[in-house]
Structure 1
Amino acid sequence: MLYFVCVTSQVWTPEGNPDLINTISLNRNQLSMLRKLKYFFMNPCDKYKARGRKPWKLILQIVKIAVVTIQLVLFGLSNQMVVQFKEENLMAFRNLFLKSFIDSSTDTYSVYTQHDVYAHIAYTVKQFLMLPSITVGNHQYEKEGDVYTPLTICQQFYRNGSISPANETFDIDAQVDEDLPSTSLLNFNNKPAELYSFVFFRLLTVTVNFTLKAINLETVEYHELPDCYVFDIMITFDNKAHSGRITIDLDNDVHIYECRDWSVTGASPRSMYMLVLFDVMVILILVLSLLLCMRSVKAGVQLQFEYREFFSIHYGKRVSFSDRMEFINGWYILIIVSDVLTITGSLLKIIIQLKAVASYDLCSILLGTGTMLAWIGVLRYMGYFKKYNILIITLRAALPNVIRFTCCAAMIYLGYCFCGWIVLGPYHTKFRTLNVVSESLFSLINGDDMFATFKNMQQKSDVVWLFSRLYLYTFVSLFIYMVLSLFITLITDTYDTIKHQQLDGEPVSDLQAFIMQCKDPPESGCFSADESSSGGCLMCCCSRRSADHT
């Protein structure tokens, strides 16, 4: 049996340098490995020319992007109605149950006298009792059997204590007690002050709790069945600071259920079932994409081991880590993560549509992130064109340096965050918490709201005011003129290097230099012969050699 053929080509030597020789002997295993590697790194179009295999993964990814985008848009439109209904109800509750409430005063709604506290509680109870006759919505009380769920008033306070600010003395038992009576709403008689007498110097919080129900009829317009909503409303009077100001806040927990009995002309559950069927189809497409990508990753890992063994036997060298990583296609990993997130989000979306849960936020995160990664994955196919892949190659090459540079800059940034928080926090609203400090400094780096940051600094302390000027000027100068400029320079230098490499055509790795020895074009038939017969590669090389001599 014949194992060797003679060809004239440029061959990569064990030292890593290409030597042009007239005649060499390559055994069939080497030629097979060479073509196997070249085929593995071909784009889908070349693979189709080489073996006639249709680019199923490419077609599937295009279909997947279309269906997941449609799914996301449908969920977004449905979620938009839910969010709008919850926000409008919350605003309605604040106007109904908070005395003298103004929409713009949501964050600063407070009372300052004991009389105002009792008056506001009495107003809330009165509005609650009159709700059916005053609301313009379809709000009603919750019933447990034939009994209405009562409104309750709960207070938290220190168990015992006495204070005397004039004498600068106090005696407080830090144990917190809670008074939660089971009083029906009909017992208040619009005068809760007769039932409650708060000891304000020991009072921590007062909460008014009640439950209402409503139905979102907006979906009827879109031929969908309405949902039933349960609002657990809590009004909190916060006196923990004991500063003479009691802040008042109204918030609610929303639960969404499928209505038990319904009859709407022109609406049916058919649309919901069609959406569920569409989601099932999306899941099947995603599962197929996931399996194909996992198979490709597995094939890359197997070929990596074959290449390492081949290189060790024939050249006595170890394959570098960077060459080994070229077999692990990061785009496939990205698509796998995208598919897992979207499958999980689609399953959760089906459960939401069946009214079993109402985790809209979690579903939005899963579907949104999955769709974002799916669209980013399209860049993989753009990378096969030299005029479009410059962005991908630049990001990949610059990433290690960018990470190292960012770690160093983060140390300086965190130092400024801690310093600004502790020094400027008492005098500037943008430095009150570490989170707000970080957001403010990041905005300054991008040139946003710079004048307001300087102007809104309180001048109660001359030393702190002067320090704030030194702090802000040095931060802006350091990060805008130096750190940001160096960061951009890292990217541009990498871009220039990649651009020159593309123009010069220099191989960037030993693996690519080795693959470049294979001169067979995809349509030559050599790659399909590699797969179909053991002597195919021999015939291909001989036929190409004959053609070269003619």
Structure 2
Amino acid sequence: MPPPAADKTGGLRVSAAEAASAGGRGAPAGASPRAAEMANPEVVISSCSSHEEENRCSFNQPTAVSELLLLEDQMRRKLKFFFMNPCEKFWARGRKPWKLTIQILKIAMVTIQLVIFGLSNQMVVAFKEENTLSFKHLFLKGYVDQMDDTYAVYTQSDVYDQITFAVNQYLQLRNISVGNHAYDKKGTKQSAMAICQYFYKQGNICPGNDTFDIDPEIETECFFVVPDEPFSIGTLEENKLNLKLDFQRLLTVELQFKLKAINLQTVRHHELPDCYDFTLTITFNNMAHSGRIKISLNNDVSIRECEDWHVSGSIQKNTHYLMIFDAFVILTCLASLVLCLRSVIKGFQLRQEFVQFFLLHYKKEVSVSDQMEFVNGWYIMIIISDMLTISGSILKMEIQAKSLTSYDVCSILLGTSTMLVWLGVIRYLSFFQKYNLLILTLQAALPSVIRFCCCAAMIYLGYCFCGWIVLGPYHEKFRSLNRVSECLFSLINGDDMFATFAKMQQKSYLVWLFSRVYLYSFISLFIYMILSLFIAVITDTYETIKHYQQDGFPETELRMFISECKDLPNSGKYKLENDHPVSIFCCCKK
């Protein structure tokens, strides 16, 4: 046999076959040529320059090859252990599935926390809405439910009547309201109602002569009505407010005042009542100068802790128990956050180690797709959910302590975190082949779906802009871009089709004909073509994944490298020197 060839550095290059015979093993039988090449790379051995070192070199050559094969074997075993599921890791090293246990515990605790907060928030929302509806009936003359968009006046006397009615109701609030409403106080005095009118500085409008002279600068005039002070506004037929409106220049009239109330219904649910401040604004909108003045009532609510309160019973203890439970939720999420963060860091460290190993021994760079397998997206999602849960729980404790009243922010944090917690459990179901089909299909179809949606969005936006500019003046569902988008999305899902066709005004035959072509083409294009293609993309991916599960997934270089390790999880070769004995009481059994 010819001697080994010398490389440019003066070393001896040992072939794959020689390395296999020296190391005692090579690539497994039936392995691919690439696997054999990766299992037995060429090894560079330093040359002997003198006869005295010949014996030493003969001794070092198989030792170096064996060391390299040992490093490869260790790297394969380390990678295989990293990609094991929790039960396989228990079999391999006796490692308890703490992350799985904490995630199951988190599902129960976070869900209970969300339900408790949801019931409390439901009472807050109901109290706000019912008070707003009560104020509309109290201060708007002739108001009927569900007429917010159509509530308006058309004559000057009706405007004065409405203003006089609202002021009169405000002054007689104690005698007419069935709720526990009261005036806001500034020091020892009751807060006043501000009556302000906004109008153009100069305006001389003559529609009959097609002429106008206007100064668009806006001026404001206000006066105040205080409940404590004697003030008579007379009957509704009289106007003693000293209010005179120039309807040609008038833009808006605003009546603004503050009221207070206490939400006592929380006592029945063993919660401390909150004190509410209502800032009410009644607006008479004449900006269009169309002969129709729209009237609206806006209620800005702020919640705060009551200054002096006393409740008999166990409400205070119940609040303490809830805060203790929230503290346990925070501790559980902190433990989950630390464990998942440690796993993510270990994944990055192992990725860097594998990249360096591959570059050093195979002179190749690891592909981006293989490197991304070390980044566990499920752990990142769990970390985000833990951070949201911790923030929401702290905010919830502040709300229960009446230090803060940010119900909306807390709802967003807890709602989003609970959704992510439930989604995170799918990661553990994905270890089973029957449950993993959905996850693999979503992962594989996601890039194609995003590209498809980007193309479909261009067509969708084109129809939105076209419908808004052409049909907007003739159809109420196309008056704004937001409403156009909602209408078209409903049409894609087959909702409200006939009403959309029927409500089209026929004032212009050309526009009516255009609307028919527009709607028929949009429905046909999106329902029969784009939506069908969208379903076909996902269906094709589903069939591909199903085929892969039966015949095997395509091998990547990372998976080919790991597949050379044939050691089973329960072989005992994955144990470290400091591993503790396996407990027979663990849920994962061999």
- TM-score, normalising length from structure 2? 0.86
Give per-residue Cα distances to partners, 1:199-218, cap 9 Å, x unaligned: 11111111111111111111
Seen in structure 2, the aligned counterparts of structure 1 residues 54 and 326 have a Cα distance that, compared at 3 Å, is same
Kept after mapping to 1: 8 A contact 2:283/2:295: yes
Pair 1:54-2:96 in alignment: yes
SS of 1:155 mapped into structure 2 = strand
- TM-fit CA distance, 1:430: 0.8
Aligned with 2:433 (options 375, 386, 389): 386
Seen in structure 2, the aligned counterparts of structure 1 residues 478 and 128 have a Cα distance that, compared at 3 Å, is same
The RMSD of aligned alpha carbons is: 2.1
- Give the letter for the 1:201 counterpart: Q
Give per-residue Cα distances to partners, 1:377-407, cap 9 Å, x unaligned: 1110010001100110011011111111110
Write the distance in 2 (CA, Å) between the matches of 1:457 and 1:10: 74
Aligned with 1:189 (options 232, 236, 243): 232
Kept after mapping to 2: 8 A contact 1:204/1:238: yes
Pair 1:74-2:93 in alignment: no
Aligned with 1:223 (options 242, 259, 270): 270
Kept after mapping to 2: 8 A contact 1:10/1:517: no
Aligned with 1:415 (options 462, 478, 503): 462
- Give the letter for the 2:171 counterpart: L
- TM-fit CA distance, 1:290: 1.1
Give per-residue Cα distances to partners, 1:130-169, cap 9 Å, x unaligned: 1111111111111222210111111111111211111111
Write the distance in 1 (CA, Å) between the matches of 2:578 and 2:70: 13
Seen in structure 2, the aligned counterparts of structure 1 residues 110 and 33 have a Cα distance that, compared at 3 Å, is same
Write the distance in 2 (CA, Å) between the matches of 1:178 and 1:20: 86
- Of the structure 1 ranges 146-155 and 259-268, higher mean CA displacement relative to structure 2 is found in 259-268
Pair 1:27-2:65 in alignment: no
SS of 1:181 mapped into structure 2 = strand
Kept after mapping to 2: 8 A contact 1:228/1:259: yes
- TM-fit CA distance, 1:224: 1.9
Write the distance in 1 (CA, Å) between the matches of 2:240 and 2:252: 16
Write the distance in 2 (CA, Å) between the matches of 1:265 and 1:54: 48
- State, as a whole percentage, how many aligned pairs show the same letter: 59
- Give the letter for the 1:9 counterpart: P
Write the distance in 1 (CA, Å) between the matches of 2:418 and 2:405: 21
Alignment-derived partner of residue 405 in structure 1: 452
Pair 1:6-2:25 in alignment: yes
Alignment-derived partner of residue 544 in structure 1: none
- Give the letter for the 2:479 counterpart: R
Alignment-derived partner of residue 427 in structure 1: 474
- TM-fit CA distance, 1:8: 6.5
- Give the letter for the 2:214 counterpart: I
- TM-fit CA distance, 1:7: 6.4
Seen in structure 2, the aligned counterparts of structure 1 residues 233 and 256 have a Cα distance that, compared at 3 Å, is same
SS of 1:160 mapped into structure 2 = strand
Alignment-derived partner of residue 351 in structure 1: 398
Kept after mapping to 2: 8 A contact 1:342/1:366: yes
Equivalent positions of 1:432-447 (< 5 A) are 432-447=479-494
Alignment-derived partner of residue 43 in structure 2: none
- Give the letter for the 2:191 counterpart: T
- TM-fit CA distance, 1:263: 2.6
Alignment-derived partner of residue 547 in structure 1: none
Alignment-derived partner of residue 517 in structure 1: 564
- TM-fit CA distance, 1:106: 2.0
Give per-residue Cα distances to partners, 1:239-297, cap 9 Å, x unaligned: 11111111111111111122222233325322222222221221111111111111111
Seen in structure 2, the aligned counterparts of structure 1 residues 170 and 236 have a Cα distance that, compared at 3 Å, is same
Write the distance in 1 (CA, Å) between the matches of 2:30 and 2:107: 42
- TM-fit CA distance, 1:352: 1.7
Equivalent positions of 1:502-513 (< 5 A) are 502-513=549-560
Aligned with 1:377 (options 424, 428, 453): 424
Equivalent positions of 1:90-129 (< 5 A) are 90-129=132-171
- TM-fit CA distance, 1:318: 1.1
Pair 1:488-2:535 in alignment: yes
Alignment-derived partner of residue 261 in structure 1: 308
Write the distance in 2 (CA, Å) between the matches of 1:415 and 1:227: 49
Kept after mapping to 2: 8 A contact 1:11/1:517: no
Seen in structure 2, the aligned counterparts of structure 1 residues 425 and 20 have a Cα distance that, compared at 3 Å, is same
Write the distance in 2 (CA, Å) between the matches of 1:419 and 1:531: 70
- TM-fit CA distance, 1:497: 0.8
Give per-residue Cα distances to partners, 1:37-63, cap 9 Å, x unaligned: 000000000000100010001001111
Seen in structure 2, the aligned counterparts of structure 1 residues 493 and 180 have a Cα distance that, compared at 3 Å, is same
Seen in structure 2, the aligned counterparts of structure 1 residues 117 and 65 have a Cα distance that, compared at 3 Å, is same
Write the distance in 2 (CA, Å) between the matches of 1:259 and 1:267: 18
- Of the structure 1 ranges 270-279 and 32-41, higher mean CA displacement relative to structure 2 is found in 270-279
- Give the letter for the 1:62 counterpart: I
- TM-fit CA distance, 1:493: 0.6
Give per-residue Cα distances to partners, 1:289-326, cap 9 Å, x unaligned: 11111111110000001111111122221111110000
Kept after mapping to 1: 8 A contact 2:27/2:35: no
Pair 1:333-2:393 in alignment: no
- Of the structure 1 ranges 143-152 and 418-427, higher mean CA displacement relative to structure 2 is found in 143-152
Write the distance in 2 (CA, Å) between the matches of 1:353 and 1:226: 10
Alignment-derived partner of residue 546 in structure 1: none
Equivalent positions of 1:231-270 (< 5 A) are 231-270=278-317
Give per-residue Cα distances to partners, 1:453-474, cap 9 Å, x unaligned: 1111110100000000000010
Kept after mapping to 2: 8 A contact 1:149/1:210: yes
Seen in structure 2, the aligned counterparts of structure 1 residues 370 and 532 have a Cα distance that, compared at 3 Å, is closer
Alignment-derived partner of residue 536 in structure 1: none
Kept after mapping to 2: 8 A contact 1:4/1:28: no
SS of 1:269 mapped into structure 2 = helix
- Give the letter for the 2:92 counterpart: A
Kept after mapping to 1: 8 A contact 2:388/2:416: yes
Aligned with 1:39 (options 81, 85, 91): 81
Write the distance in 1 (CA, Å) between the matches of 2:312 and 2:577: 66
Matched residue pairs, number?
Answer: 529
Pair 1:278-2:278 in alignment: no
Seen in structure 2, the aligned counterparts of structure 1 residues 17 and 179 have a Cα distance that, compared at 3 Å, is farther
Kept after mapping to 2: 8 A contact 1:118/1:193: no
Give per-residue Cα distances to partners, 1:24-83, cap 9 Å, x unaligned: 976111000000000000000000010001000100111111111111000000000000
Kept after mapping to 2: 8 A contact 1:12/1:514: no
Alignment-derived partner of residue 179 in structure 1: 221
Write the distance in 1 (CA, Å) between the matches of 2:464 and 2:158: 40
Seen in structure 2, the aligned counterparts of structure 1 residues 531 and 478 have a Cα distance that, compared at 3 Å, is farther
- TM-score, normalising length from structure 1? 0.92
Seen in structure 2, the aligned counterparts of structure 1 residues 10 and 150 have a Cα distance that, compared at 3 Å, is farther
Seen in structure 2, the aligned counterparts of structure 1 residues 107 and 17 have a Cα distance that, compared at 3 Å, is farther
Kept after mapping to 2: 8 A contact 1:234/1:250: yes
Write the distance in 2 (CA, Å) between the matches of 1:453 and 1:17: 67
Aligned with 2:498 (options 442, 451, 457): 451
- Give the letter for the 1:452 counterpart: A
Write the distance in 2 (CA, Å) between the matches of 1:275 and 1:11: 63
Gaps of 5+ in 1: 534-550
Kept after mapping to 2: 8 A contact 1:14/1:315: no
- Give the letter for the 1:147 counterpart: K
